[in-house]
Structure 1
Amino acid sequence: MKKIIVFSLAIALAIFTNSCSSGGNSPEPTPTPEKATVTINPTKDKALEPGVNGEFTITLSKAISTATTVYYKVEGTATNGVDYQEIETNISVPAKSTSVKIPVVVIDDEETEGTETVIITLSDTDNGNVTISTLNKAIVSIEEEEETVPYVPSIEPGATRSYMVNSNATDETVALFYNLKILSETNNVIIGQQDAFNAFYNDNTGDSDIKKTTGSDPGLLGSDFMFITDDNNDGTSSNWFYQQEEIITGDAIEAYDKGMVNTFCWHFREPYSGDEFYASNINSDDLNKAFQSILPGGENHEYYKQKLQKIAEVTKGMVGSDGKQVPIVFRPFHEFDGSWFWWGANYCTPSEYIELWQFTVEYLRDDLQVDNMLFAFSPDNNFTTASQYLERYPGDEYVDILGMDNYGDFANQGQSGANTANSKLQVLTNLAKEKVKIAALTETGYRVDSNHSPISNLYSTYFYSALTNNNVEVAFMMFWNNNSDGYYTPVPGESDANDFVSFYNKEETLFQNNLPDLYTLPN
């Protein structure tokens, strides 16, 4: 019985094994063809002559079991085999690989050629299952490394006085001139504001509005001799105008002690009534003779000299905690190319303006011996050329700072207005280089109030680009003052405050907390 069982089991296993291994007579399935597309990309799209190579990468959409040759054209303004090591017009992608690199090895030919291009355009493959993608063209640029030219200051510290209006200026005033000039040449701009220590948006007293927003005071404080020289200032402690004099001079001393720059304008009241500086508020008889009356020989010339004496007294009397006179930038008769002030273009000739400016400088410097003052010439923005700017220029020996007041180009004019302002600052930059003077945006801003909404990117884009594009060299710029119902610089909570903080964080903008020492002359 046992033998019969074993035999039967063997037969059954043999039959089962034969049945499973034969698989019947059905044919083998046909394999799916390997299809792919090929693309090219510039994985290093910028090369630099010498030393930095570029690179293209050819990529298959999937790996193929056999090698695939890709054909292409090599074109561009750079010459194959001359500007870079020769690139063949085909390359093989290895089997079971998805990419291959084509290096652009730059050849230093020691010629100045500007930026050149290498362009590769895929054309075909040797594999019918690999087709060219629409991403069949790529470009690598070859740029020339700019030679680093060491910075050479336009003036030596010891020669500074020879370029200044007052060669007998105090050491601190000389240092201020030198350091402002060097700052401008190194693309730094000091940012300031008029009346920053005593004029606030919404009358929110305390820190300057700029400090409320950024954590730092401005780098420059603007002040005005207007109340100081007012006819009603009698010098007594109970007198409102004298109280303003004390506040203004105290602020200037504080700014100096903080290392800031001080600049003074002068909204000088016309000499007949002593009440107004805007031409529209002055009767026509007085308006048409006011300027001429303060010229040498004019009926109000002695009156004018008394006002200059007051300015001299106050300027010389401002002494910092170091015991030194506070240097100031004096900016008289500003915006003279307009006619909104009684000293404007409609009310005096260029020669009359020049005569008064020269007298003013000589009287303050030579007769009254004011040695802590730099002189800033500042028309409004009504010029596009150097010759227009210089129409009323009194001469290099009478000017330290070439300024410009400019509100119009930032009055919601967008990037176009900023570009226009920048082109005018280029005029100032070129003149300052030629004359070894200091260029500055002496007054500017855009006022936000109930009738004027904030402008997006005004500070970080428009003001910033105007001050820095096209190698402009501006030592400082000053926003006009905030007051109870409007502002030129935003405070926390306003929609443009973050934009101003971005402006503050720019590398080139200098505020009080990152000013260098402006009042020491390097050895």
Structure 2
Amino acid sequence: MLKTLENMPRDGKFMFGHHDDTMYGIGWVGDEGRSDIKSVCGEYPAVMSFDLGDIELGHDVNLDSVPFDKIRREAVAQYRRGGMVTMSWHANNPLTGKNAWDVSDSSVVRSVLPGGANHEKFLGWLDRVADYLNSIKTADGVKVPVLFRPWHEHTGSWFWWGQALCSTEEYKALWQLTYDRLAAKGTDQLLWAYSPGIEPKDTAEYLERYPGDSKIDLIGADAYQYGTNAEYMATLDRILGIMEQVSREHGKAMALTEAGHESIPDSTWWTQTLLPVIAKYPISYVLVWRNAHNKPGHYFAPYPGEPSAKDFVKFHADRRTVFVKAGGEK
């Protein structure tokens, strides 16, 4: 998988990704083999993203009510068709018992580190994550490679591990603890992604809480559009330019780990806003967020009849974009 990530930009290509692609979409949930992307362009995304939130609590479904058994099956299916799997983890707040977005207390990270009141609890959480990741295997016992992307968007302060909620040293210690515990549990199939938001203004800010080259395989950024197309293009140019310098200096693959424009209000957004900017940079993939089946307007990818679907077909046909076929042939 690392070779694929490294070779994509060398070949002048990048993979397209979508979160929860085969789990649900606009007007459906749980249909076997269904995908809004596949319904629009005939192929699956080359990268599929899933989330582990609530696995730490021992639940059967994640924070978006997706069964972990189905995530396991879909991860194997994506691997078998030649695609890539990445997983984020919106871990609940171990101090307050609320969700990942609870930022009411700035001692949460400290509480899970060695010596902290929640350290043993957190080790149990990490063990559940490791056990689950190790359970994602093909029928012949091959563990599916996963690009693991914990503690993301830490340059903002909307998660309990965010910028204003812990010190640089505490954040790095959280990464070290996570990396060491999962490694000790035999998760040798993982690659690791570092994924800030768009807040960094230069490479120094981007790398301020970087865990170190030995623990990172891919650098990324989560960048959503909230303003005009021109503003978004400028934002992408800035953050991707920073990442390109870091990528070159540290020898790491790079990707736009989350992106998108909710409800896609521009019918030519794919080829006129997103593609012109990302095609200038050596990214391995770009991944847009989910198409919620139960939250009207909360979608980031086209579906049949959606206004940008025709433009997405053009995006799909571009020689630089990579998708995967249902039968496994790229």
TM-score using structure 1 length:
0.59
Tell me what 2:275 maps to.
464
Pick from 300, 306, 328: which aligns with 1:488?
300
Tell me what 1:507 maps to.
319
* Residues 183 and 414 of structure 1: CA distance in aligned 2, closer, same or farther (over 3 Å): same
Secondary structure at the counterpart of residue 478 of structure 1: strand
For 2:234, give the aligned amino acid: N
Question: 1:491: Cα distance to partner?
Answer: 1.0
Say whether residues 1:195 and 2:20 are aligned partners.
yes
Q: Which has the larger radius of gyration?
A: 1
User: Is the CA contact 1:412–1:455 (under 8 Å) kept in the aligned structure 2?
Assistant: no
Question: 1:514: Cα distance to partner?
Answer: 10
CA distance in 1, matches of 2:200, 2:118: 31
Question: 1:202: Cα distance to partner?
Answer: 2.6
1:205-244 pair list within 5 angstroms: 206=31, 207-229=34-56, 231-233=57-59, 244=67
* Residues 515 and 358 of structure 1: CA distance in aligned 2, closer, same or farther (over 3 Å): farther
User: Is the CA contact 1:214–1:501 (under 8 Å) kept in the aligned structure 2?
Assistant: yes
CA distance in 1, matches of 2:318, 2:326: 12
CA distance in 1, matches of 2:153, 2:259: 12
Secondary structure at the counterpart of residue 192 of structure 2: strand
CA offset digits 1:390-433 (Å, max 9, x no partner): 011111111111010001xx334213421330232122122212
1:253-272 pair list within 5 angstroms: 253-272=76-95
Secondary structure at the counterpart of residue 193 of structure 2: strand
For 1:294, give the aligned amino acid: V
CA offset digits 1:159-196 (Å, max 9, x no partner): xxxxxxxxxxxxxxxxx111210112222111011100
User: Structure 2 regions of 5+ residues with no counterpart?
Assistant: none
Tell me what 2:200 maps to.
383
Say whether residues 1:299 and 2:121 are aligned partners.
no
Tell me what 1:47 maps to.
none
1:94-109 pair list within 5 angstroms: none
1:179-190 pair list within 5 angstroms: 179-190=4-15
Tell me what 1:426 maps to.
241
Secondary structure at the counterpart of residue 460 of structure 1: helix
CA distance in 2, matches of 1:326, 1:457: 36
CA distance in 2, matches of 1:262, 1:459: 22
CA distance in 1, matches of 2:329, 2:237: 28
Question: 1:515: Cα distance to partner?
Answer: 11
User: Comparing both chains, which one has the higher relative contact order based on Cα–Cα distances under 8 Å and sequence gaps of 6 or more?
Assistant: 2
For 1:493, give the aligned amino acid: G
Question: 1:456: Cα distance to partner?
Answer: 3.4
For 1:423, give the aligned amino acid: R
For 2:226, give the aligned amino acid: A
CA distance in 2, matches of 1:321, 1:436: 35
* Residues 416 and 425 of structure 1: CA distance in aligned 2, closer, same or farther (over 3 Å): same
User: Is the CA contact 1:202–1:483 (under 8 Å) kept in the aligned structure 2?
Assistant: no
Tell me what 1:326 maps to.
144
Structure 1 runs of 4+ off > 6 angstroms? 514-518
Tell me what 1:400 maps to.
217
Say whether residues 1:475 and 2:284 are aligned partners.
yes
For 1:209, give the aligned amino acid: D
User: Is the CA contact 2:54–2:61 (under 8 Å) kept in the aligned structure 1?
Assistant: no
CA offset digits 1:228-251 (Å, max 9, x no partner): 22x252xxxxx5569811111111
* Residues 321 and 462 of structure 1: CA distance in aligned 2, closer, same or farther (over 3 Å): farther
Tell me what 1:12 maps to.
none
CA distance in 1, matches of 2:191, 2:257: 13
* Residues 464 and 508 of structure 1: CA distance in aligned 2, closer, same or farther (over 3 Å): same
* Residues 502 and 515 of structure 1: CA distance in aligned 2, closer, same or farther (over 3 Å): farther
Pick from 72, 75, 84: which aligns with 1:252?
75
CA distance in 1, matches of 2:106, 2:201: 28
Pick from 229, 236, 251: which aligns with 1:436?
251
Say whether residues 1:454 and 2:271 are aligned partners.
no
Percent identity at matched positions? 30
Question: 1:289: Cα distance to partner?
Answer: 1.6
Secondary structure at the counterpart of residue 347 of structure 1: coil
Secondary structure at the counterpart of residue 3 of structure 2: helix
User: Is the CA contact 1:338–1:345 (under 8 Å) kept in the aligned structure 2?
Assistant: yes
CA distance in 2, matches of 1:433, 1:297: 38
Tell me what 2:309 maps to.
497
CA distance in 2, matches of 1:328, 1:350: 26
CA distance in 2, matches of 1:337, 1:419: 19
Tell me what 1:369 maps to.
186
For 1:394, give the aligned amino acid: P
TM-score using structure 2 length:
0.92
For 2:173, give the aligned amino acid: E
CA distance in 2, matches of 1:205, 1:501: 24
Secondary structure at the counterpart of residue 132 of structure 2: helix
CA offset digits 1:11-46 (Å, max 9, x no partner): xxxxxxxxxxxxxxxxxxxxxxxxxxxxxxxxxxxx
Q: RMSD value over aligned CA atoms?
A: 2.1
Question: 1:516: Cα distance to partner?
Answer: 9.5
CA distance in 1, matches of 2:191, 2:318: 28
